[in-house]
Chain A
């Protein structure tokens, strides 16, 4: 099983550029999440989805957008990239949203210069 697959692993953007971080899971999980991790700050929830067609904001959603057209895929869109969005981004999934373990992807290291 592939689990949670994220692409790309690394990316450098210029200020103002846009990009989409891809996330796919093959475990038929209903819940999917996007987190960002900054040094010494832990993981902050950006957006989450409880199923296809349903998304909601997390703790730090500004500057990001998401969509969930299928159970498997949950892309994260950065519009007008800013240096403050330099971070490591993790996608995760779980079968349900209530006290279930999260399965994480391998992460995307993004630098905005």
Chain B
């Protein structure tokens, strides 16, 4: 079941903050975050696991609310390089495969 990402698009000025969300109607085992720039491959940002473990980018902040089956990615003091499409991927069990959301386009303007 495909996770739902919100908002659909975000436009920021450099230095502004943003929060992007990923939610599921099924119980989550883990949430993965990737960023993709136009014409390039997705690049790993972070994994958040049930129980609180996190793996990933030191400069990226994210949360995983197990009760709400939701994850949020926090982009603070945004830079031009943050622009791209952000995908969340969800796992529903130890043996399930990643299911990706449709993505959120984030544009950071000078």
B56 to chain A, nearest CB (A): 8
A residues less than 8 Å from B101 (CB atoms): 42
B50 to chain A, nearest CB (A): 9
Pairwise interchain contact A41-B102, C-beta atoms closer than 8 A:
yes
Pairwise interchain contact B47-A101, C-beta atoms closer than 8 A:
yes
A3 to chain B, nearest CB (A): 10
A residues less than 8 Å from B59 (CB atoms): none
How many residues in A have their beta carbons less than 8 Å from beta carbons of B? Answer: 23
B window 84-110: CB within 8 A of A: 87, 89, 91, 94-95, 97-103
CA distance A104 to B2 in the complex (A): 20
**Smallest CB-CB separation from A41: which chain B residue?**
B102
A window 77-99: CB within 8 A of B: 90, 97-99
B residues less than 8 Å from A112 (CB atoms): none
CA distance A107 to B42 in the complex (A): 10
A42 and B29 contact, Cβ closer than 8 Å, known pairs A58-B97, A99-B91, A104-B41: no
A residues less than 8 Å from B30 (CB atoms): 99
B residues less than 8 Å from A110 (CB atoms): none
A102 and B98 contact, Cβ closer than 8 Å, known pairs A42-B103, A43-B42, A107-B41: yes
Query: In the complex, which of the residues B29, B44, B56, B103 contacts A102, with contact meaning CB atoms closer than 8 Å?
Result: B44
CA distance A45 to B97 in the complex (A): 9
Q: B67 an interface residue at 8 Å Cβ cutoff?
A: no
* Residue from B34, B41, B49, B87 whose CB has the most chain A CB atoms within 10 Å: B41
A1 to chain B, nearest CB (A): 15
Pairs A-B, 6 closest by C-beta atoms: A104-B41, A101-B44, A42-B100, A43-B100, A42-B102, A99-B30
User: Chain A: residues with CB nearer than 8 A to chain B?
Assistant: 33, 35, 40-45, 48, 58-59, 90, 97-107
